[in-house]
Amino acid sequence: MAADSKQPALGTKNGIVSLLLLLMGHWVMAQSASPDDSLLLRRIYDESLLHSEAYHNLQELTTTIGARLTGTPQAAKTIEWGQTLLKKAGADSVYLQKVWVPRWSRGKIASASVLYNGNVVQLNVCALGGSVGTNGRLTAPVIEIRSWRQLDSLSAKDIRGKIVFFNRPMDPRITGPFTAYQEAVDQRNTGAVIAARKGAVAAIVRSLTLSQDDLPHTGAVTYDSTVTMIPAVAVSTNGADWLSKALTQTPALRLSLELDCQRLTDVPSANVIADIKGSVAPQEVVTIGAHIDSWDLSEGASDDGAGLVQVIDALRILRTVLPHPARTIRIILYINEENGNRGGLQYAEWARHSGEQHLAVFETDAGGFFPHGFRIDAAPEIMSIFQNWRELFRPYKANDLTPQHRGVDIGPMKGIAKAVISLDCDDQRLFDIHHSAADTFDKISKRELELGAAALAGMAALTSEHGLSIPAPFSNVRAARRTFFVAGQIGISDGNRKKASFKEETKQALTNVQHALTSAGLTLRDVVNVTVYLRNINQVNDFNEVYRTFFSSPYPARTLVEVNRLVKDAAVEISVVAGE
């Protein structure tokens, strides 16, 4: 714009207001999405939907390698395969992080049968991951358990020498199957230990699915080194219903079980890590991860083959659309998610001492179905940053932001990274195939796979470009018509001495401000300006921590000054201006 003699000079009242509005506008833009962000996201989605390699890579993984149980040659082949694809996708560096992992063999025998009305009835079962074998055929009475309360009510005499049949279904009334799974999975994880404590000789667990079929669904069983390890199997939902009915009619029913699975010695394996180095703040890191290993009943297409190819393609997308990200973007292919999480634990231990700052750690392990948003664990101030970006994802129907991540691999990063985030996908079909022989390539939608990769790449890109710095808790500009001035308040209450700690003193000073405002019929929401005097400027972070519990956005304007001394040897004094 050409110069105009009618423009106000900065020295005039109108000029000062113009400058303040300009500063306020700059601050607002820094906290919210910009048109450039929208364009970046559009380019990321276009690249994924037009040029994705994820579906082809998944087909290759499932047909040439297949099941990838931790500690097997197939898992080792997947590590090599992942390295090759990450290099091809354009990573600056690709390297391995050594991880010692458990090794377990399913064996060839998983048989469960009962003699019922003169006929031998075979049940469809599979060993739970990590189970011990039966060392031949084991035959014993069966007792059905539908709740922990029921099991707790029984004595060791009631359980000793029996096979405990855990038959608590996933609750079909819960709209989200993942939530129903979480409420039922404890019986699979710890049922064998709790049953063994009361003398049980084996555990049989209803498969965790809402489907009524003949497929057993495996999953990890955990043991306690102080309790005898007993064999544990999953039975199909149809088999569980039949067994329950048979026990009602014949309570003395005996079940014969045979498993030849084995727990073996640990072996070396690795996480695969690939970096695109940040161009502005390379020490700040955003990770995107999925897990290499799968259970051995199927190809592991959904769990977590889909996640593997999504994160590999996310790197390719970002290298194409954002070749020089501001902060380092790291892809992690974790080993051993299914039966130990050794890969996730190893990376977190390394990250804790790496000297890097992990901003956000993402994981995709929700089956490769339609992505409708993200599940985020972060402080409220960090969550507000993601909330500012959510509208960018609305055109792609991926704008749901929900608390509580669901990623096993990234769980150990809580407290290390500022945000722990899992891709949140539609889960209505997930448990139809989860951990079963039905988890095959034909169950995966190419379109949904590509949308998931784009969502991950998009949110990671925004995090890389903007960072996750918490805005200071003050506004540059606040306005008021009538003003009220509150004299400086220190952290002493009527008749009491100064508080013992700085945070307590700050809290009391702000409480005193609050009381003064109340006496004038005002609240903290009416405060437009705050002046803070600190004797030690190094305590500003502690001050802000307490301050945020009293004030929220839009924050008052604020000035903070370090001084040598304050009245009554206070560490902090606060005065405010309020307005209507």
Q: Residue 492 sits in a domain of what CATH number?
A: 3.30.1330.40
In a domain, 189, yes or no: yes
Return the CATH number at 216.
Answer: 3.50.30.30
61 and 302 Cβ atoms separated by less than 8 Å = no
pLDDT value, residue 534:
96
336 and 102 Cβ atoms separated by less than 8 Å = yes
pLDDT per residue over 240-287, tens digit each? 999 999 999 999 999 999 999 999 999 999 999 999 999 999 999 999
pLDDT value, residue 475:
63
User: Quick one: 65 and 48 in the same domain?
Assistant: yes
User: Quick one: 80 and 117 in the same domain?
Assistant: no
User: Quick one: 454 and 533 in the same domain?
Assistant: no
286 and 420 Cβ atoms separated by less than 8 Å = no
Distances (CA, A) of 178 to 26, 204, 344, 349: 42, 22, 21, 28
pLDDT value, residue 122:
98
What does the DSSP assignment read for 385-452? HHHHHGGGGGGGT--EEEES---TTTGGGBTTBSEEEEEEE--TTHHHHTTSTT--GGG--HHHHHHH
Q: Is the preceding peptide bond at 141 cis, omega within 30 degrees of 0?
A: no
Per the structure, the count of domains in the chain is 3
* CA dihedral of 452, 453, 454, 460, whole degrees rounded to 10: 110
Chain-centre distance for alpha carbon 105: 30
In a domain, 409, yes or no: yes
pLDDT per residue over 4-29, tens digit each? 333 333 333 343 333 333 333 333 33
pLDDT value, residue 497:
66
User: Quick one: 66 and 210 in the same domain?
Assistant: no
pLDDT value, residue 23:
37
Of 459, 437, 444, 455, nearest in space to 367 by CA: 444
SS (H, E, C) 502-528: HHHHHHHHHHHHHHHHHHCCCCHHHEE
| Six-digit token string for 424 | 């949140």
User: Quick one: 351 and 422 in the same domain?
Assistant: yes
| CA–CA gap between residue 207 and residue 214 (Å, rounded) | 10
User: Quick one: 142 and 202 in the same domain?
Assistant: yes
User: Quick one: 50 and 118 in the same domain?
Assistant: no
| CA–CA gap between residue 318 and residue 457 (Å, rounded) | 7
Distances (CA, A) of 567 to 227, 277, 499, 517: 64, 51, 14, 21
Last residue of a domain, one of 466, 501, 523: 466
89 and 319 Cβ atoms separated by less than 8 Å = yes
Q: Are strands 572-579 and 483-490 parallel, antiparallel or unpaired?
A: antiparallel
In a domain, 51, yes or no: yes
In a domain, 3, yes or no: no
- Which run of H or E residues covers position 318? helix 306-321
User: Which residues on neighbouring strands pair with residue 575, listed in sequence order?
Assistant: 531
In a domain, 542, yes or no: yes
* Mean pLDDT within 209-237: 98
What does the DSSP assignment read for 214-242? S-----B----TTS----EEEE-HHHHHH
User: Quick one: 241 and 320 in the same domain?
Assistant: no
In a domain, 11, yes or no: no
393 and 374 Cβ atoms separated by less than 8 Å = no
| CA–CA gap between residue 181 and residue 183 (Å, rounded) | 5
User: Quick one: 488 and 440 in the same domain?
Assistant: no
Q: Residue 338: is its pLDDT beyond 80?
A: yes
Distances (CA, A) of 213 to 185, 238, 256, 257, 456: 19, 5, 22, 21, 34
* Mean pLDDT within 302-311: 98
pLDDT per residue over 455-511, tens digit each? 999 999 999 999 998 867 766 655 667 888 889 999 887 656 666 799 999 999 999
pLDDT value, residue 500:
75
Distances (CA, A) of 160 to 127, 150, 155: 22, 15, 9
Last residue of a domain, one of 466, 497, 522: 466
User: Within a 10 A sphere around the Cβ of 287, how many other Cβ atoms?
Assistant: 26
In a domain, 25, yes or no: no
Give burial (CB, 10 Å; 0-12/13-18/19+) of 265. Answer: exposed
- Which run of H or E residues covers position 462? helix 446-466
Hunting for tokens 């994981």 — which residue is that?
A: 363
| Six-digit token string for 207 | 């498969």
Distances (CA, A) of 99 to 71, 161, 183: 10, 39, 31
Of 508, 504, 472, nearest in space to 489 by CA: 508
User: According to DSSP H, which parts of 32-72 are helical?
Assistant: 35-51, 54-64
Strand stretches in 71-127, DSSP E: 93-105, 110-116, 119-123, 125-127
φ, ψ of residue 407 to 5 degrees: the values are: -105, 120
pLDDT value, residue 528:
94
Give burial (CB, 10 Å; 0-12/13-18/19+) of 415. Answer: exposed
Q: Residue 371: is its pLDDT beyond 80?
A: yes
pLDDT value, residue 474:
64
pLDDT per residue over 92-102, tens digit each? 999 999 999 99
Of 185, 370, 364, nearest in space to 291 by CA: 364
| Six-digit token string for 117 | 């009305």
User: Quick one: 281 and 246 in the same domain?
Assistant: no
| CA–CA gap between residue 343 and residue 410 (Å, rounded) | 10
Helix (H) and strand (E) counts in the chain: 16, 20
Return the CATH number at 417.
Answer: 3.40.630.10
Of 557, 385, 377, 543, nearest in space to 475 by CA: 557
User: Quick one: 117 and 93 in the same domain?
Assistant: no
Structural domain harbouring 114: 107-260
Amino acid at 5: S
Mean pLDDT of the chain: 92
Q: Is the preceding peptide bond at 439 cis, omega within 30 degrees of 0?
A: no
End-to-end CA distance of the chain, in Å? 37
pLDDT per residue over 350-359, tens digit each? 999 999 999 9
In a domain, 26, yes or no: no
| Six-digit token string for 399 | 């704008």
User: Quick one: 333 and 250 in the same domain?
Assistant: no
Distances (CA, A) of 385 to 401, 462, 467: 11, 10, 9
Last residue of a domain, one of 260, 277, 312: 260
Of 103, 129, 39, nearest in space to 392 by CA: 39
Of 297, 293, 275, nearest in space to 342 by CA: 293
User: Within a 10 A sphere around the Cβ of 285, how many other Cβ atoms?
Assistant: 23
User: Which residues on neighbouring strands pair with residue 60, listed in sequence order?
Assistant: none
Spell out the residues 6+ positions from residue 297 whose beta carbon is closer than 8 angstroms to its own. 67, 126, 218, 435, 436, 437, 439
pLDDT value, residue 486:
87
| CA–CA gap between residue 481 and residue 152 (Å, rounded) | 67
Of 247, 233, 26, nearest in space to 146 by CA: 247
